[in-house]
Structure 1
Amino acid sequence: MMSICKQLQPTVHIPPCGLNLEAFNSRRQTNKVVIVMGATGTGKSRLSVDLATRFHAEIVNSDKMQVYEGLEITTNKITKEEQCGVPHHLLGAVQNPNADFSADDFSDAASIAIESIVDHGRLPIIAGGSNSYIEHLVDVLDYSFRAKYECCFLWVDVSMPVLHPYVSKRVDEMVRNGMVEEVRKMFDPNASYSKGIRRAIGVPEFDRYFRDEKLYDEKTRARVLQEAINEIKDNTCKLACRQLGKIHRLRNRDGWTLHRLDATEVYRRRGNEAEQAWKRHVAAPSAAIVDEFLRSFAPAVKRHAMRVPAMAAAASH
């Protein structure tokens, strides 16, 4: 939900590699897709833009809250400036805040977007923290997606003891940037927090504050507000743990081949040292992985065939 390292320096510039994807498409049985995964706050959006500027790609958002229009600050949606001119699909695409955008809806919409990107000779990059969306897209319908597309999974990982203080500080930054007022404009005492964009972390936590703030004196109002902010921090850290657990399950139980990129050192440093750590530990190695992936022509169907026994074994437990 809150998924870009905004407190780090600007995106590392990597010169275009000059790969002709249309030529690649004519030489292999399947098209290729890059999928960027990771817990909230690890830098998935930043990495996807880094890669897109190098490999002539377009990005498909797979964050189930950022797919809705609105709550730009609360959902930590990537800004136009941060997009660096890279086309983004399914970002703010659902205008009804009460609509349910299911995993089936995502799979249908993402498939259309990916097909369009491929038809234009560009590389689709799927990026976002909703692993259930990604899993549904990739492994639903007897793995028809894998039969059509060869996937490269990049996992941006940060040690939880390092990530948790970062995401907590990021909540404070979001509050300074106007999150409370942004959520206040959407507050409806009769609305449900079980569907639509109001499920987003940062919305239900303010319910008590918005309902009763006029009844509080200044001291009580400040205390209740801080309690809501602390709850948002706790829930964000819990989300990161759940996301990491899901990634481990996809890798260890379901047999997904994930390329782990350890970004922990980036968060331990500041200024130019953080920028260099990002380039050294994340941007450069991920670019090398994708470059090799695009230059290989092993049919995806063979890779899929190798996965089936592992999946079957997992299902038997």
Structure 2
Amino acid sequence: MSQNKERCVVIVGPTAVGKTKLGIEIAKAFHGEVINGDAMQVYQGLDIGTAKVTEKEAEGIPHHLLDFLDPRESYTVARFQKEAREQIDSLYNKGILPVLVGGTGLYVKAVLYDYQFNEVKEDTAFREHLQKRAEVEGPDPLYRELLEVDPEAKDRIHPNNVQRVIRALEIYHKTGKPMSEHLPENEPALLFDPVIIGLTMERHLLYERINQRVDMMVQKGLIEEAKSLYDQGIRHTQSVQAIGYKELFGAFDGEYSIETAVELIKRNSRRFAKRQLTWFRHQMAIEWFDMTDVENSYKKINEILEFVAGKLKD
């Protein structure tokens, strides 16, 4: 590996494939610490639904950029880029291997590559106006307005992610240009010396694991966790657009039953996993490992550890 760039290990892949466990094993084996690369695990109070690592699961391995942000606050890619790079620098300078683990592709790529984000300042009055409209009219009218000025937003922003829709409209309002024109045009340079590991699994087994995981989340108290956020009046924020919360909020609003919400969580999680796999396979040079043989997962983990050891010696 190159000697003039900081080394790190990156673990990506779809939800429920086993990234958290592998990240901990790599950190244990190579004197590392984990940096969270999941956009929703930064929020406090969103523990069960985001599958946030527990103290027991962490096995004493420190985790950074995890569970620190109020769920009423927004979190940008640019802010994550800055804070994650600072964590990588800090760990590397202490002789600790940074292990970036997460399924939020844009966040991970923004850290590793020289993305320059054009930070357009907020227009508080305009934003408050749009937020009030969203509360009264719902998210659909704002999303339709966004697609009129920035059709490419359809591939980047979910219609229910009201905060991102408002931010995109705010950027257009302030600059006269859609958000897509503020994104980098050329493929940026790689800033670090990463070992990028991707985990995959046969589709039918991954979907089965996702369904079982959602059932387990419900048993652990997902519905109660979501209701607590709902009762606090946390609505139309970036945090509760996470899968698991937005579906249950619909049930709390009386749009459908809790049972329907749970099925929607499973369906939306499966669809999200499919999008994650597609995104990662087209965006980065990744060494993929198939985790389908769940019963022999430790054998596969040892194989990955040997692969990492070889790369770190180069």
TM interval, short-chain normalised:
0.7 to 0.9
1 CA distance for matches of 2:47 and 2:196? 27
* Matches of 1:107 and 1:145, distance apart in 2: 15
Task: Indicate how the Cα distance of structure 1 residues 59 and 190 shifts in structure 2: closer, same or farther if over 3 A, else same.
Answer: closer
Q: 1:191 Cα shift?
A: 4.4
SS at match of 2:257: helix
User: What's 1:220 paired with?
Assistant: none
Q: 1:150 aligns with which of 185, 188, 193?
A: 193
Whether 1:240 and 2:273 are equivalent positions in the alignment is yes
- CA RMSD across the alignment: 2.1
Does the 8 A contact of 1:164 with 1:237 survive in 2?
yes
d(CA) in 2 for partners of 1:182, 1:145: 41
Provide the residue aligned with 2:305 in structure 1: 287
Decide whether the 8 Å contact of 1:56 with 1:122 is kept in 2: yes
Distance in 2 of aligned mates of 1:80 and 1:206: 26
Does the 8 Å CA contact 2:38/2:101 hold for their aligned counterparts?
yes
Q: Which amino acid aligns with 2:190?
A: R
Q: Structure 1 residues 279 and 35, CA, compared in 2 at 3 Å: closer, same or farther?
A: same
1:39–1:240: 8 Å Cα contact kept in structure 2? Answer: yes
Question: Which of 101, 112, 122 matches 2:75?
Answer: 101
SS in 1 for 2:17: coil
Cα offset, 1:37, TM superposition: 0.5
Unaligned runs of 5+ in 2: 117-185
Q: 1:197 aligns with which of 239, 258, 261?
A: 239
Count of residues in correspondence between the two structures: 244
User: Shift in Å at residue 146 of structure 1?
Assistant: 2.6
Specify the SS of the correspondent of 1:153: strand
Question: Do 1:60 and 1:125's aligned partners in 2 also have CA atoms closer than 8 Å?
Answer: yes
**Partners in 2 of 1:133 and 1:146 — Cα distance?**
14
Aligned twin of 1:172: 215
User: What residue number does 1:58 align with?
Assistant: 33
Per the alignment, residue 79 of structure 1 pairs with 54
Q: Is 1:134 aligned to residue 108 of structure 2?
A: yes
Shift of 1:165: 1.2
**Alpha-carbon distance in 2 for matches of 1:89, 1:143:** 28
Q: Residue 207 of structure 1: CA displacement?
A: 2.2
Displacement after TM superposition at 1:247 (Å): 1.1
- Contact kept? 2:14, 2:103, Cα under 8 Å: yes
Match of 1:262 among 271, 290, 293: 290
Distance 1:120 1:201 in 2: 36
Extract unaligned runs of 5+ from structure 1: 1-23, 214-222, 251-255, 267-273, 297-317
Residue 75 of structure 1 aligns to a residue whose secondary structure is: coil
Please give the alpha-carbon distance, in whole angstroms, between the structure 1 residues aligned to 2:56 and 2:280.
Answer: 30
Asked whether the 8 Å contact 2:71–2:234 carries over to 1, the reply is no
Q: Displacement of 1:188 after TM fit? A: 4.9
What one-letter code is carried by the residue in structure 1 that aligns with 2:253? R
Distance between the aligned counterparts of 2:213 and 2:234, measured in 1? 27
Superposed CA offset, 1:259-285 (max 9, x none): 11100111xxxxxxx1xx11222x112
- SS in structure 2 of the partner of residue 97 of structure 1: coil
Q: AA paired with 1:109?
A: E
State the AA in 1 paired with 2:309.
D
Asked if the contact 1:137–1:145 (Cα under 8 Å) also holds between the matched residues in 2, the reply is no
2:268 partner letter? N
SS of match in other structure, 1:48: helix
Deviates most, 200-209 or 114-123: 200-209
> Structure 2 length normalisation: TM-score?
0.73
Report the alpha carbon displacement of residue 28 of structure 1 after superposing the two structures with TM.
Answer: 2.5
Q: In the aligned structure 2, how far is the partner of 1:93 from the partner of 1:207?
A: 23
Identity of matched residues, %: 28
**Aligned equivalents of 2:72 and 2:14: distance in 1?**
25
Counterpart residue number, 2:167: none
How far 1:209 moved relative to its partner? 2.4
TM-superposed CA distance for 1:192, in Å, is 3.5
Cα distance between partner residues in 2 of 1:69 and 1:189: 13
CA–CA separation in structure 2 for the residues paired with 1:242 and 1:192:
25
Moved over 6 A (4+): 142-145
Cα distance in 2, alignment partners of residues 115 and 55 from structure 1? 17
- Deviations 1:68-104 (CA, angstroms, capped at 9, x unpaired): 111211111010110011110001121x212111111
Cα separation, 2, equivalents of 1:50 and 1:76: 17
